[in-house]
Amino acid sequence: ASPPRPTPASRRVASPAAMSAAAAARTPVIVLPGSGCTPTRECNFYAWFSDALDATRYDARMTNMPDPHVCRERAWLPFIVDPSGPLRAGPGCVVVGHSSGAVAAMRLAERTKLKGIILVASYDSDLGDANERASGYFDRAFDYDAMRRNCDFVAAVGGARDALVDIDIQRRVARECLGLSAGTAGAEWLELEARDHFFTPPFRELVELLDRSCDAADAAAAAGAGTTTDEG
């Protein structure tokens, strides 16, 4: 009998173990939408952003949120970290929050270890809005020190023409509260002069900000590991 013919490389299928290892090496990127954004993928830039990510590096996670109109903290945060849920936020994850989702990301980072957070159109008060007030996020001060301790990086992006969240509020949260600055990868504030509340794609700047932030965090981690090895 003839020996079995080798399978061409183009037809080989990776083993389950190899596929599992590749999936584990990707960084989960969780998208938290703004209030009223349901179904999530049909709103704003979310589907475009998720689809634009490098699938070999990132694992995009997005789902329809509970209580999508008021976005109550007591409903959202347990759902976001639920280990059996669709988002499963925790160590190694990046959380990208937009508008109300940015506020949720800040509260999450106060109590949860993450790889990082990116805040899109963020704010830290109810803006005089009853719906925002009912969310429960603004009944106590934000702990910005805890956010920084729990994240390998923190970044924020705002549109100078935002008519919903004044750019001065976004600048204050980013610069004064979180200590971010323009051009500082790993602690970056990115202000886009021609953008508003980021209702429409594309949003290439966000993809690039994610890449820069993750690169900075990975480099810092590698440097720290090298220092520990040298000292050992």
For the chain, helix, strand, coil in percent to 5 are 40, 15, 45
pTM greater than the 0.85 cutoff:
yes
In tens digits, what is the pLDDT along the chain, a chain of 232 residues? 444 454 444 445 545 554 455 556 899 999 999 999 999 999 999 999 999 999 999 999 999 999 999 999 999 999 999 999 999 999 999 999 999 999 999 999 999 999 999 999 999 999 999 999 999 999 999 999 999 999 999 999 999 999 999 999 999 999 999 999 999 999 999 999 999 999 999 999 999 999 999 999 999 999 988 765 555 5
Which residues, 6+ apart, have CB-to-CB distance to 227 below 8 Å? none
Tokens of 186: 């790993």
110 membership: H or E segment, kind and range? helix 100-111
Taking a C-beta distance cutoff of 8 angstroms, is the pair 96, 29 a contact?
yes
